[in-house]
Structure 1
Amino acid sequence: MAYLHQFLFGVYPYIALTVFLLGSLIRFDREQYTWKSDSSQLLRRGQLRWGNNLFHVGILFLFFGHLVGLLTPHWVYEPLLGAGAKQLLAMVSGGIAGVMTFIGLVLLIHRRLAEPRIRAVSTPMDFVVLFWILITLLLGLVSIAFSAQHPDGSVMLALSEWAQRIVTFRSGAAEVMAGAPLVFKVHMFFGMTLFLLFPFSRLVHVWSGFAAVAYLFRPYQLVRARGPARRTGL
Structure 2
Amino acid sequence: MNLLHNFFFNVYPYICLSVFLMGSLARFDRDQYTWKSDSSQLLRKGQLRWGSNLFHLGILFLFFGHSVGLLTPHWVYEPFITPAHKQLVAVVAGGVAGAVCFVGLTLLLHRRIFDPRIRLTSHRTDLLILVVLWCQLVLGLVTLPFSLGHSDGTVMLALSEWAQRIVTFRPDANGLIPLDWPYKVHLVLGMTIFLLFPFSRLVHVWSGFGTLAYVLRPYQVVRSRRIGLPHGSRSTR
Give the TM-score, by structure 1 length.
0.96
Q: Calculate the aligned-residue CA RMSD, in Å.
A: 1.4
Q: Which has the higher mean CA deviation after the structures are superposed, 202-211 or 221-230?
A: 221-230
Q: How does 1:156-167 map to 2 (within 5 A)?
A: 156-167=156-167
Residues 78/116 of structure 1: CA separation in 2 closer, same or farther (3 Å cut): same
SS in structure 2 at match of 1:110: helix
In structure 2, the CA distance between the partners of 1:230 and 1:221, relative to structure 1 (3 Å rule), is farther
SS at match of 1:179: coil
2:201 corresponds in structure 1 to: 202
Q: In the TM superposition, what is the alpha-carbon distance from 1:111 to its structure 2 partner?
A: 1.1
Once the two structures are superposed, residues 133-181 of structure 1 have per-residue CA deviations (whole angstroms, 9 ceiling, x without a partner) of: 011100000100000111010011000000000000114x221211111
Which residue of 2 is the match for residue 176 of structure 1?
175
Q: For structure 2, list consecutive stretches of 5 or more residues without a partner in the other structure.
A: none
Using the TM superposition, give the Cα deviation of residue 229 of structure 1 relative to its aligned residue in structure 2, in angstroms. 7.4
Residue 81 (structure 2) pairs with residue 109 (structure 1): no
CA distance in 2, matches of 1:22, 1:88: 37
Amino acid at match of 1:13: P
* Cα drift, residue 221 of structure 1: 2.4
- 1:39 matches 2:49: no
Between stretches 22-31 and 114-123, larger displacement belongs to 114-123
Q: Deviation per CA, 1:13-72, whole angstroms, max 9, x where unpaired?
A: 000000000000000000000000111113341301110000000000000000000000
SS of structure 2 residue aligned to 1:169: coil
The 2-side partners of 1:154 and 1:211 are apart by 36
Q: Which amino acid aligns with 1:226?
A: R
- Equivalence for 1:11: 11
Displacement of 1:233 in angstroms is 4.1
Q: Which residues of 2 match residues 208-219 of structure 1 at below 5 A?
A: 208-219=207-218
Please state how far the C-alpha of 1:230 moved relative to its aligned partner.
8.4
The separation in 2 between residues aligned to 1:152 and 1:212, in whole angstroms, is 40
List structure 1 segments (4+ residues) > 6 angstroms apart after TM superposition. none
1: CA distance between counterparts of 2:217 and 2:5? 47
Matched residue type, 1:102: F
Mean CA deviation greater in 75-84 or 109-118 = 109-118
Q: How does 1:8-157 map to 2 (within 5 A)?
A: 8-157=8-157
Structure 2 residue matching 1:47: 3-state secondary structure: helix
Identity of aligned residues (%): 63
* Higher alpha-carbon Rg: 2
Amino acid at match of 2:174: E
Tell me the CA shift for residue 73 of structure 1.
0.5
> Distance in 2 between the 1:44 and 1:108 partners?
10
Find the aligned partners of 1:16 and 1:110 in 2 and give their Cα distance.
29
Whole-Å separation in 2 of the counterparts to 1:78 and 1:220:
41
